[in-house]
Amino acid sequence: MINLINNSLDKEGYVEEIKEIFLKLAKEKRIRYGELRLEESEVTNIGFRGKELEELSVSKSVGGNIRILGRCGWGFISFNDINTEAITDYFEEACNASNLITGEEIEIEYSDPVVDRVVFPMGRDFRDIPIEEKKRLLSEYNDIMLNFSPKIQSTVVRYGDRFNKRYFINTEGTDIVQEKGDISSVLIALAREEDLIEQYHYSTGSIEGFQIMENLHDKARDTAEMAVRLLSAPVVKGGQYTVILDPRLAGVFIHEAFGHLSEADHVYENERLKELMLIGKRFGPDFLNVVDDPTYPNLRGSYRYDDEGILSRKTYLIREGILSGRLHSRETARKMGEPVTGNARSINYRFQPIVRMSNTFIVPGSSSFDELISDIKHGIYAVGAYGGQTSMEMFTFSAQEGYMIENGKIGDMVRDVVLTGNVFTTLQNVEAIGNDLQFSQGGGCGKGGQSPLPVATGSPHIRIRNVVIGGR
C-alpha cells in the first residue's frame, strides 16, 4: 500500500493504484457516471505596496476530488489527504451525497473515451528562476514608479505564477494528464494632487514563460506617467457620442457584458434570459462575430480538455450578427438540447467545474484605425479598462483614459470616461470593426466563488454610435 499526504503524485505506480480503486468502486456501485481528479501545484506570489514588500510566498499543494452523478444531482467531495485507504471513504461520501439530492432527474451528455497527455511548453520556465531574482525584478519596476514624480503617492505591484499538473479519470474510460504554467502580474501607480487622486495600471499574463515579465521598465515608467497626466486632464463632458473602444476595453466589454450571458447555466436557470438569449436572434450588424476559443494558441484561457474531460473547441457566440451558440457543460448541453462545448472549468480541485469562458473575443474586421476615426466630427476614444459592473443586459464600464476625437483627429485627454447602456442595443450600434485584433491576458475571471480563473479577452478597435458617456 502506498500512502501520500501533501507530497508528490509522481511516485511510481501511485496514480495508477488510485485510478484502479476508483474504477473498481464505480463498477461495484454501478454508478451512472463518475470522475476522479488529482492535482498538484506549485505557486509563487510576490506583492509590493508602496515601499513595503507585502507578500513573498512559495507553496506546493496536492489534492483531488471525486464527483458522482446521482439521479437528481451531483455528489462532490474534495480532499488534500490522499492515500489509497481514504479513496474508498471519499468515494462513499460522494455517492451518499449524490443520493441525498431530490427533485427532477438530470441527464448529461456522454463522450467517447480519451487517453492523452498534454504539456503546454514554456520558454523560460519560471520554476527554474530563484524567488530572489523575481523579487529583484519586481522591485526595480516598483522603484521606477515610486521615483517618477513627487505626485506619485503610492504603488502596487502584484506577481503570481502557478504550475499545475492535473490527472482526470472518468467512468467512460477517459484518462488525461495536463500540465500547464501560468503567470499574471499588475503594476499600479497612484498619483495625487491636493484632493484629487488618479491611478493607472498595466497588467500582463502568459502561459509561455517568465520572459513576459522581463524588460517591463518602460511599462512601469509609462504607468506612472499616465497616472500623473490624468491629474491635469479635464473631466469629460457627459452626453451621447460616437465612441471608439480600444482593444483592451472592447475585449473586457464583450467578456463582461455579453460573454457571461452566453454561459448556459445562467440561461437555463433564468426565464427572462432565455427570452433575451434566443438562438437565431439578431444581435448586431452582419460584420459582427464573437467567438470563445480555448484552442487559440498560447493564451491564458487555452486548454486541450476542460475539467469534464471534453475536448475543447471553438464556439461562435455571434456569427454574422446572429446569436448562434452558447457555452456548455455536459449537464447544460443535455438540458438545453445543444452541443457540449468543453467549457466546464474550475480554478482548482476544491471546486466543481461550472460553465466558464476561455478566450473570448470579437473577430477582426477590415477597417484601419484611421478609417474608423476619419469621419467622426465629435467623439471619444476610450482606452483601457479600469473597472465596471453588469446587471443582466445593463452595463457600466470605466475607461482608464479617454481622448476627444475632433474632425477625424485624436485630441486632448479627458478623464472619468464612464460608458453605460444596454449590451444588446450597444451591439446593434456597432458601426465598424478594426483589423487589429489584440488580446489582454493580465486579468482573471470570477464566478460562483471561483476566482481568478485564467482567461484572455480580445478585440480589435471597434466603433459604436450613440454611446452614453457619464461626466460633467
Q: What is the pLDDT of residues 79-109, one digit of tens each?
A: 998 888 899 999 999 999 999 999 999 999 9
Q: Which pLDDT tens digit goes with each residue over 60-72?
A: 999 999 999 999 9
> What is the pLDDT confidence band of residue 5, given thresholds at 50, 70 and 90?
very low
Mean pLDDT of the region 116-125: 97
SS3 category, 285: coil
Mean pLDDT of the region 135-142: 98
> What is the pLDDT confidence band of residue 14, given thresholds at 50, 70 and 90?
confident
Give me the pLDDT at residue 4, please. 37
**Structural domain of residue 292, as residue ranges?**
239-470
Peptide bond before residue 452 is cis, with ω within 30 degrees of 0: yes
Residue 84 sits in the same domain as residue 218 = yes
Percentage of residues in the chain with pLDDT exceeding 70? 98
> What is the pLDDT confidence band of residue 1, given thresholds at 50, 70 and 90?
very low
- For the beta carbon of residue 173, count every other beta carbon within 10 angstroms: 12
Helix residue spans in 342-472 (DSSP H):
369-373, 423-428
Give me the pLDDT at residue 236, please. 97
Give me the pLDDT at residue 387, please. 79
Mean pLDDT of the region 320-347: 97
Look at residue 105 and tell me if it is in a domain. yes
- Please indicate whether residue 391 or residue 177 has the higher confidence score (pLDDT): 177
Residue 204 sits in the same domain as residue 254 = no
- Helix (H) or strand (E) holding 100, with range, is helix 84-100
Residue 410 sits in the same domain as residue 362 = yes
Look at residue 5 and tell me if it is in a domain. no
Residue 179 sits in the same domain as residue 316 = no
Look at residue 412 and tell me if it is in a domain. yes
Residue 241: partners with Cβ closer than 8 Å, 6 or more residues away: 378, 379, 380, 467, 469
Residue 160 sits in the same domain as residue 88 = yes
Flag the least confident range among 78-87, 99-108, 211-220, 367-376: 78-87
Mean pLDDT of the region 292-308: 98
Domain boundary among 182, 198, 232: 232
Mean pLDDT of the region 169-183: 98
- Please indicate whether residue 6 or residue 215 has the higher confidence score (pLDDT): 215
Give me the pLDDT at residue 7, please. 54
Mean pLDDT of the region 178-206: 97
Best CA proximity match to 399, nearest among 257, 250, 258, 249: 249
CATH classification of the domain holding 46: 3.30.2290.10
Mean pLDDT of the region 430-441: 98
Classify each residue of 52-78 as buried b or exposed e, where b means 16 or more C-beta atoms within 10 Å of its C-beta. Answer: eeeeeeeeeebbbbbbbbbeebbbbbb
Residue 187 sits in the same domain as residue 250 = no
> What is the pLDDT confidence band of residue 437, given thresholds at 50, 70 and 90?
very high
Mean pLDDT of the region 203-219: 97
Give me the pLDDT at residue 128, please. 97
State how far the Cα of 463 lies from the Cα of 455, in Å rounded to an integer: 24
Give me the pLDDT at residue 224, please. 98
State how far the Cα of 401 lies from the Cα of 415, in Å rounded to an integer: 6
Q: Decide if pLDDT at 465 tops 90.
A: yes
Residue 346 sits in the same domain as residue 458 = yes
State how far the Cα of 455 lies from the Cα of 434, in Å rounded to an integer: 22
State how far the Cα of 166 lies from the Cα of 400, in Å rounded to an integer: 37
Look at residue 104 and tell me if it is in a domain. yes
Look at residue 382 and tell me if it is in a domain. yes
Give me the pLDDT at residue 384, please. 96
Residue 197 sits in the same domain as residue 136 = yes
> What is the pLDDT confidence band of residue 386, given thresholds at 50, 70 and 90?
confident
Look at residue 199 and tell me if it is in a domain. yes
Residue 208 sits in the same domain as residue 293 = no
Give me the pLDDT at residue 12, please. 66
Number of domains making up the chain: 2
Look at residue 4 and tell me if it is in a domain. no
Domain boundary among 189, 210, 232: 232
Flag the least confident range among 20-29, 76-85, 233-242, 317-326: 76-85
State how far the Cα of 87 lies from the Cα of 97, in Å rounded to an integer: 15
Best CA proximity match to 306, nearest among 325, 324, 332: 332
> What is the pLDDT confidence band of residue 129, given thresholds at 50, 70 and 90?
very high
Classify each residue of 101-138 as buried b or exposed e, where b means 16 or more C-beta atoms within 10 Å of its C-beta. Answer: eeeeebebbebeebeeeeebebeeebeebeeeebbebb
Mean pLDDT of the region 180-203: 97
> What is the pLDDT confidence band of residue 471, given thresholds at 50, 70 and 90?
low
How far from chain centre, in Å, is Cα 134? 24
Give me the pLDDT at residue 397, please. 95
Helix residue spans in 269-422 (DSSP H):
271-276, 330-336, 369-373
Q: Decide if pLDDT at 234 tops 60.
A: yes
Domain boundary among 232, 250, 275: 232
Residue 151 sits in the same domain as residue 280 = no
Residue 220 sits in the same domain as residue 276 = no
Give me the pLDDT at residue 472, please. 63
Residue 454 sits in the same domain as residue 385 = yes
Give me the pLDDT at residue 156, please. 98
Look at residue 65 and tell me if it is in a domain. yes
Give me the pLDDT at residue 320, please. 98
Are residues 183 and 300 in contact, defined by beta-carbon separation less than 8 angstroms?
no
> What is the pLDDT confidence band of residue 9, given thresholds at 50, 70 and 90?
confident
